[in-house]
């Protein structure tokens, strides 16, 4: 068993012994279908804390020919697959953690040299007879050449697993020499007909998709599965709703709170994908909270918010208010320095896990309370005083709403609207909806906030539905532009929007809010529903 070649099953055995282990082994069945086919080059990008390294450990244990890992897999889902025994412990495996090489090198270029030297040394030590022929003249032999010649001599292709493949593009953002040397190595390993002869399966995992040059991927023979388009691997990106529900039952934790904190990533209709490491931390510590702000990606979030690139600040305010924002993810160059538009920054935040992406609608949004709280901490650090003022006042606004204090509600919404909406979009109904949900920021702890809820004979603009643990009244909010607050409440009644809450048992307040474009003032009307 080596550090890089045939690493064995030990690390996955540690994972299996962990207090919480969720079986994602069915992913292996998909990869087994890719082995020795044109689809054998796979790159999976996920945010920090989404199980990338765990998956790499699992694949090493499953494919590594130097160990017998059957006892680790026999009780898992993959054991029921027809391909299970066919590929179990049948391949020479190379496992590379690029973060380790970079952490133990002076710079990115040195990390690439260390990688080549270390892996070649282990391979040649494992096959000393072949080593004498490959290195007969004593000169340096590139790693791809070593692999090609070894593959021919031993009559087997390799499974190559690279974890944190994008480390140099994140840590050495401006070191283009190191990046070029690294990409040259990757091309030697995976690009071209010679490379295809010694690779049975290549599995790369990192935060970023493969670097682009223009519109072309540097390794365009890879199938890429990302947070913007996870394809058939979507259910293996994080925890599913069923998995989290079972954990909450086992650890006696409130499932609805787990939804609020960690749900929100949507890859297809009715899917619910949760941040896995955060769920595990919450269960083990028996406390819901934000477990992201101690990661390196949180520092990136603060940096890109501070840049306010291409008017990003106004977009973030809308997103904090619950808005979805159209985003073109295709032009992003898959690095952390090349930005041509605000969409590039938003796409990076999708890959970092700070935004979710609706593939069907082409929209980004903040997925859950954990991420929202990370955004709030980041903007507090960056001095967005107006936004922090609105968030700080949101509890007082809720109290005024419950008390049906219409004048106070109107005045506070007016202040939030004036201070946090760019003049270009100030007179806009979508902007007003975002302002309302930003103003009611603190409602998230008591309510599920739903925008454009189908109800009665139309759509209720915003509905605040109390969580089961809350005794607060439900709020049905209708927004008007140059009309009247009274007319907004009348519309709620006439179009029977309250029918959307027919399964709800409790008090309901009807809230009408109007913005008068001419006087630039807001009016509010609050009435109790008669049920």
**Three-class secondary structure assignment of 408-474:** HHHHHHHHHHHHHCCHHHCCCHHHHHHHHHHHCHHHHHCEEEEEEEEECCEEEEEEEEECCCCCCCE
Q: Residue 179: which of 141, 145, 143, 218 has the closest Cα?
A: 218
- Contact present, 355 and 349 (Cβ < 8 Å): yes
Identify the pLDDT of residue 214.
Answer: 56
DSSP lists the bridge partners of residue 458 as 455
Residue 510 has pLDDT above 80, yes or no: yes
Residue 424 has pLDDT above 60, yes or no: no
Domains and CATH numbers, the chain: 10-225 (3.40.50), 240-383 (no CATH), 385-528 (3.40.1350)
CA–CA separation, 531 vs 528, rounded Å? 9
Identify the pLDDT of residue 255.
Answer: 94
Identify the pLDDT of residue 462.
Answer: 87
Residue 470 has pLDDT above 80, yes or no: no
CA distances from 185 to 83, 112, 116 (A): 32, 8, 9
* Mean pLDDT of the residues in the chain: 87
Q: What share of the chain is helix, strand, coil (3-state, %, to 5)?
A: 50, 15, 35
pTM of the model: 0.85
CA–CA separation, 189 vs 191, rounded Å? 6
CA neighbours closer than 13 Å in the CB half-sphere of residue 351: 27
Running DSSP on this structure, what letter comes out for residue 210? P
Identify the pLDDT of residue 425.
Answer: 45
Residue 305 has pLDDT above 60, yes or no: yes
Q: Look at 134-143, 186-195, 265-274, 447-456 and tell me which has the smallest mean pLDDT.
A: 134-143
Distance from first CA to last CA of the chain, Å, rounded?
71
Identify the pLDDT of residue 516.
Answer: 85
E strands present in 196-279: 199-206, 212-213, 216-217, 223-225, 239-240, 273-274
Residue 490 has pLDDT above 90, yes or no: yes
Identify the pLDDT of residue 81.
Answer: 96
Joined together, the tokens standing for residue 442 give 């603190």
CA–CA separation, 271 vs 261, rounded Å? 16
CA–CA separation, 206 vs 98, rounded Å? 10
Region 379-391 average pLDDT? 81
């Amino acid at each position: 068993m080596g550090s890089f070649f045939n690493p064995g099953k030990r690390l996955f055995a540690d994972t299996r012994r962990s207090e919480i282990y969720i079986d994602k082994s069915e992913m292996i069945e998909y990869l087994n279908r890719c082995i020795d086919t044109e689809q054998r080059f796979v790159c999976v990008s996920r945010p920090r804390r989404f199980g990338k390294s765990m998956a790499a450990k699992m694949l090493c244990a499953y494919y590594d020919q130097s160990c017998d890992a059957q006892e680790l897999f026999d009780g898992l889902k993959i054991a029921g697959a027809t391909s299970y025994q066919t590929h179990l412990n049948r391949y020479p495996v190379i496992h590379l953690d690029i973060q380790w090489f970079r952490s133990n090198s002076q710079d990115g270029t040195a990390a690439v040299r260390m990688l080549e030297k270390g892996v070649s040394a282990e391979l040649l030590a494992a096959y000393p007879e072949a080593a004498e022929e490959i290195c007969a003249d004593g000169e340096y032999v590139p790693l791809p050449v070593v692999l090609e010649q070894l593959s021919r001599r031993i009559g087997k292709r390799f499974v190559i697993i690279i974890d944190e493949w994008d480390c140099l593009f994140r840590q050495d953002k401006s070191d283009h020499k190191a990046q070029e040397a690294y990409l040259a190595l990757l091309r030697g390993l995976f690009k071209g007909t010679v490379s295809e002869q010694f690779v049975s399966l290549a599995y790369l995992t990192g935060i970023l998709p493969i670097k682009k040059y223009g519109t072309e991927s540097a390794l365009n023979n890879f199938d890429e599965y990302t947070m913007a388009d996870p394809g058939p691997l979507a259910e293996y990106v994080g925890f599913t709703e069923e998995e989290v529900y079972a954990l909450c039952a086992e650890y006696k934790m409130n499932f609805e709170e787990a939804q609020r904190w960690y749900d929100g990533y949507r890859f297809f209709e009715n899917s619910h994908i949760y941040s896995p490491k955060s769920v595990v931390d919450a269960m083990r510590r028996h406390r819901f909270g934000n477990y992201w702000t101690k990661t390196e990606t949180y520092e990136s979030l603060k940096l890109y918010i501070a840049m306010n690139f291409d008017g990003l600040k106004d977009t973030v305010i809308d997103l904090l208010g619950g808005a979805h924002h159209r985003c073109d993810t295709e032009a992003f160059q898959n690095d952390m320095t090349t930005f041509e538009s605000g969409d590039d920054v938003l796409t990076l935040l999708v890959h970092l896990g700070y935004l979710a992406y609706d593939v069907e609608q082409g929209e980004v949004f903040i997925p859950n309370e954990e991420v929202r709280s990370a955004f709030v901490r980041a903007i507090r650090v960056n001095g967005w005083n107006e936004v922090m003022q609105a968030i700080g006042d949101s509890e007082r606004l809720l109290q005024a709403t419950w008390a049906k204090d219409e004048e106070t509600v109107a005045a506070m919404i007016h202040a939030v609207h004036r201070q946090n909406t760019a003049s270009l979009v100030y007179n806009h109904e979508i902007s007003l909806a975002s302002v309302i949900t930003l103003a009611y920021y603190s409602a998230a702890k008591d309510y599920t906030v739903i925008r454009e809820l189908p109800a009665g004979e139309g759509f209720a603009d915003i509905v605040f539905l109390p969580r089961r643990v809350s005794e607060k009244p439900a709020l049905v909010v209708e927004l008007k532009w140059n009309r009247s607050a009274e007319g907004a409440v009348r519309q709620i009644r006439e179009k029977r929007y309250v029918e959307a809450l027919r399964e709800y048992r409790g008090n309901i307040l009807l809230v009408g809010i109007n913005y008068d474009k001419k006087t630039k003032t807001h009016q509010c009307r609050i009435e109790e529903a008669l049920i």
